Amino acid sequence: MLALLVQLEAACVAADDLTGAVEDAFPQHPDAGILLSFPGPGVQLGARVLAEVGDDRNRFADARA
């Protein structure tokens, strides 16, 4: 049981470290301002949207796409 608790603690620390890294790195991305301008999403969700959609501006034919 103690070994599982140690693993859980390590996973929690890793998640906290990743959160901090995203909060430091995402605002530096050129598209961060666009994603953060939408109402609702913050840094974490904005970074996730960027990761899912990508940052290739030629991916979509126009803004409507």
Q: Is residue 41 domain-resident?
A: yes
* Among 47, 58, 1, residue whose Cα is nearest residue 21: 47
Q: What domain range is 30 assigned to?
A: 25-54
* Residue 2: band (very low, low, confident or very high) from pLDDT cuts 50, 70, 90: very high
Contact yes or no for 8/14 (Cβ under 8 A): no
- pTM exceeding the 0.85 threshold for the entire prediction: no
Kindly state whether residue 9 falls inside one of the protein's structural domains. Answer: no
Q: Check pLDDT > 90 for residue 7.
A: yes
- Averaged pLDDT for residues 27-49: 90
Q: Tell me, yes or no, whether 7 lies in a domain.
A: no
Residue pair 49/41 in contact by the 8 Å Cβ criterion: yes
Q: Is residue 49 part of a domain?
A: yes
What's the total number of domains in the chain? 1
| Token duo for residue 46 | 């904005």
